[in-house]
Amino acid sequence: MPATVLIGLGWGDEGKGRIIDFLAPQHDYVVRFNGGPNAGHTVKVNSRIFRFHLLPSGMLYPDKTCVIANGVVLDIDTMRRELDEVKSSQEKHAQLFVSDRCHLILPYHKMLDLAEEKVRGKRKLGTTGQGIGPVFADKVARKGIRVCELYDPVYLKDKLENILQEKNKILTLIFGENPLKLEEVYEKLLRDAEFLRPFVTDTLILLQKAYREGKSILLEGAQGALLDHELGTYPFVTSTSPMAGMVSLGCGLGPHQIDRIMGVVKAYATRVGTGPFPTELKEEIGQYLRDRGGEYGTTTGRPRRCGWFDVPAIKYVIYPNSPDELVLTKLDVLSGLEELKVCVGYRFESRLIEGLPAFAEAFDRVEPIYETLPGWREDISQARKPQDLPKGALEYIKFLEQALGKRISLVSVGPAREQMIALE
């Protein structure tokens, strides 16, 4: 398969990193095409855990080429930290390229992200504080600074001076923050430019050449489709598209060059930050899932909200992503629960509804309709083939396949590379 896209179909944190790490050996390239350091992809290698926010999850395979393509917003400090961690681990690693078109996250983006959250009060979005909203706003408003601009120091200083005049006014007059100093920001960018230089290239050309040569390319989506700002739970969404359709814009492979779309769903639902979550479990079972699943944010450390599997929400984003198959993650976390509930529909103001209410306040008030399935007691973390799974687990998988109308091809039962079951 020359080009495979893997995307999350929830509110992020579906376990995409470990699936990319699992699929990477069959591919030559691993490419990030959306998001930024708000992502947190966990990869476990030789009993060591790596948490990547910017580096592609294929980074720990020495024979791969990893690409941070133009759709990703770059925080150079994060990238440097992650590369240092990989190098100091003594693990052999992939070759890395960064697009000359990536937009840069600058100090004012993070300051504005935090300050804007503060003034939102009870309507806060619960952002990761990485500057995502402000950097994408600048990108669309044509005020961003891109990697390629770092290599013309005169132009860069002039542009930065102009931008800081505006940003400093907003920071000081509206949010009461200290202004940023031009020289400090500029000097740091010049140092960053030198650090980045060996990685920078036109990644569209790089990927098109790889495609022509028949190399296989794995495209690693960040966040989840329900956080999409077009079709997700707006405004409780992120500012870059986590949809499969973003691949073309985010790295320059055309829609006809994509051969396979894989959607990742977790065996239960989680959400970090605020926003509607109809199947949320606020008591014991929610805590059980959080503890067993280690449901704490990779980027922020915040406890994730946990709930039952939500078919209507996931079905809604299956339509625009059209996955060929699904990957079900963290099935092992459900072991030990006597019964499992799956939300199969919503009632709103006493009526059954189709789809998701567009207005978040209305979505907050839907009443989930549940079907109850038997659970299983067995620890399934050692299962490696479908026959190793107890009846309850197999029934749960079958139920989800039927309810979602999609085939589940892979199931993960733990964080290690080998804890994976391929279904026929």
Q: Which residues are at the interface with ligand IMP (CB under 6 A)?
A: 11-13, 38-40, 125-128, 130, 132-133, 222-223, 227, 236, 238-239, 272-273
Comparing C-alpha atoms, which of 248, 228, 8 is closest to residue 136? 228
CB of residue 188 to ligand IMP, shortest distance in Å: 22
CB of residue 123 to ligand IMP, shortest distance in Å: 12
Parallel, antiparallel, or unpaired for β 217-224 and 29-32? parallel
CB of residue 186 to ligand IMP, shortest distance in Å: 26
In angstroms, what CA-CA distances link 326 with 265, 285, 349? 7, 25, 32
In angstroms, what CA-CA distances link 354 with 208, 399, 422? 41, 20, 32
Q: Which is nearer to ligand IMP, 7 or 261 (CB)?
A: 7
Tell me the one-letter amino acid at 410.
L
- Crossing angle between the packed helical segments 76-88 and 182-196, to the nearest 10 degrees: 40
Comparing C-alpha atoms, which of 264, 235, 196 is closest to residue 12? 264
Asked if residues 14 and 223 have their Cβ atoms less than 8 Å apart, the reply is: no
Q: Which is nearer to ligand IMP, 4 or 128 (CB)?
A: 128
Q: Which is nearer to ligand IMP, 17 or 312 (CB)?
A: 17
- The helix (run of H) or strand (run of E) holding residue 391 is helix 391-404
The Cβ of residue 118 has, within 10 Å, a number of other Cβ atoms equal to: 9
Catalytic residue among 13, 28, 138, 228: 13
Q: Which is nearer to ligand IMP, 227 or 340 (CB)?
A: 227
Asked if residues 353 and 347 have their Cβ atoms less than 8 Å apart, the reply is: yes
CB of residue 353 to ligand IMP, shortest distance in Å: 24
Q: Which is nearer to ligand IMP, 222 or 403 (CB)?
A: 222
Phi, psi angle pair for 2, to nearest 5°: -60, -45
- The helix (run of H) or strand (run of E) holding residue 181 is none
CB of residue 233 to ligand IMP, shortest distance in Å: 9
Token reading at 391: 């009846």
DSSP conformational letter for 172: I
CB of residue 222 to ligand IMP, shortest distance in Å: 6
Catalytic residue among 21, 27, 41, 100: 41
Q: Which is nearer to ligand IMP, 38 or 335 (CB)?
A: 38
DSSP conformational letter for 386: G
Asked if residues 419 and 380 have their Cβ atoms less than 8 Å apart, the reply is: no
- What is the three-class DSSP state of 53? coil
Furthest-apart CA atoms within the chain: distance in Å: 67
Catalytic annotation present for 103: no
Instruction: Give the Cα separation of 182 and 202 in Å (integer).
Output: 29
Q: Which is nearer to ligand IMP, 211 or 290 (CB)?
A: 290
CB of residue 275 to ligand IMP, shortest distance in Å: 6
Catalytic annotation present for 109: no
Residues with catalytic roles:
13, 41
